[in-house]
Structure 1
Amino acid sequence: MSPLVTAYIGLGGNVGDPADTLRAAFRSIDGLPGTRVTATSGLYRTPAWGREEQPDFINAVACVATHLPAQELLAGLLDVERAFGRHRDRAQGRWGPRVLDLDLLLYGDDVIDEPGLRVPHPHLHERAFVLVPLVEVAPGLTIPGIGRADAALASMASDGIQALP
């Protein structure tokens, strides 16, 4: 069995009832082989980013302890997306509406640059909608090659991000 690794997963969606979808996705991620969700952030309403002419997103972060290698964890996350009706279609373009988006943000302290997988997520340190829930779950976390997540968050505006009750 592979060693136990702490990984962080970003969740988001803006189609249907995204808050319910994210709560259900936490349970689905917890059901992946050799993987246990150890912490989840609250849910946050965030303005659409990239393509702004769409509904606001609901975002969150899950911390998991996993025995899965990074590529297998990513494959499991993509399976969860598909189970919720997400189809990654390049013809639709990036940053469009989606029922569920799961991103492998961090995998231990590893730096991975392989086809289809880059960890830390290449834009993690630039996106308040990911950093706000990440810092909630792991306040002192360091992003390999970048520095502290809370310092990255402090350097950007996050006033449009609202915690859901």
Structure 2
Amino acid sequence: MERVVIGIGSNLLGPLQQIKKSLCTMKKDYANDIRLIACSSYYRSRPLGGMKQPDFLNVVVIIETRLSPIGLLNCLQLIEAQQGRVRSGNFLRWGPRTLDIDILLFGNRIVITPRLIIPHYDMLNRAFVLCPLLELLPDFCFLNGRMLSEYLHILRTDNNYLRRLDIS
């Protein structure tokens, strides 16, 4: 089994319930392929892109999986779709969504395909990813040798809005 870090966010139709339901689905429906290892605290963040919409609720989760990166992506996108995520038609980048699940890291693998880039292409610019990730992996070092805390320090000077919530 390979250790994987995923980010989960929601800002529509009961974000906390959306996230918890996605985690339950992973545990129940994909128990043979996905094992939940750790879950960060929940964080509230402003949406990206400037569109007027509700704040997001975000969490970072460590899992173990026997699936390939594309196999895991297919599984996670199916969970998103089952919870009302729409990817065609009026889909807007950085728009509101019931559920957004991103593969952030997949072991030490680097994956570049038209559908998937790992490490996640923009994770180093997102406090709502780095802060919960630091909570789970405080000594994490990227393949380039830089510590996770270094990237978060750079973002914190950029006035990113992020609030840790007391939710269990």
Q: TM-score, normalised by structure 2?
A: 0.90
- Structure 1 CA distance for aligned equivalents of residues 94 and 145 of structure 2: 24
Q: Take 2:27 and 2:133, find their aligned partners in 1: how far apart are those partners?
A: 18
- CA positional deviation for 1:146: 6.8
Measure how far apart 1:19 and its partner are. 1.1
Partner of 2:48: 49
Q: Compared with structure 1, are the counterparts of its residues 113 and 47 closer, same or farther at alpha carbon in structure 2 (3 Å cutoff)?
A: same
Question: What displacement does 1:160 show?
Answer: 1.9
Post-superposition shift, 1:135? 1.1
- Alignment counterpart, residue 6 of structure 2, candidates 3, 6, 9: 9
Long gaps (5+) in structure 1:
none
Amino acid aligned to 1:162: R
* Structure 1 residue aligned with 2:84: 85
Q: Distance in 2 between matches of 1:89 and 1:72?
A: 21
Would the alpha carbon gap of residues 149 and 71 (structure 1) be closer, same or farther in structure 2, given more than 3 Å must change?
same
How far off is 1:16 after superposition? Answer: 1.3
Shift of 1:8: 0.5
The verdict on how the C-alpha distance between 1:96 and 1:142 changes in structure 2, with shifts beyond 3 A counting, is same
Please state whether the residue corresponding to 2:131 is helix, strand or coil. Answer: helix
Q: What does 1:142-153 correspond to in 2, within 5 Å?
A: 142-145=141-144, 147-153=146-152
- Residue 160 of structure 1 corresponds to 161
SS at 2:85's partner residue?
A: coil
Give the conservation status (yes or no) of the 8 Å contact 1:39–1:63: yes
1:55-134 equivalences in 2 (<5 Å): 55-89=54-88, 91-134=90-133
Amino acid at match of 1:13: S
Taking the aligned partners of 2:51 and 2:81, their CA distance within structure 1 comes to 24
CA RMSD between the two structures: 1.6
Q: Do the aligned partners of residues 21 and 140 (structure 1) sit closer, same or farther apart at CA in structure 2, a change above 3 Å counting? A: same
TM-score between the two structures when normalised by the length of structure 1? 0.91
Q: Which amino acid aligns with 2:11?
A: N
**Higher mean displacement: 99-108 or 155-164:** 155-164
Distance 2:25 2:137 in 1: 21
Deviations 1:10-60 (A, max 9, x none): 000100110121112122223424210100011111111113411100000
1:76 and 1:82 map into 2 onto residues whose CA distance is 10
Asked if structure 1 preserves the Cα contact closer than 8 Å seen for 2:127 and 2:160, the reply is: no
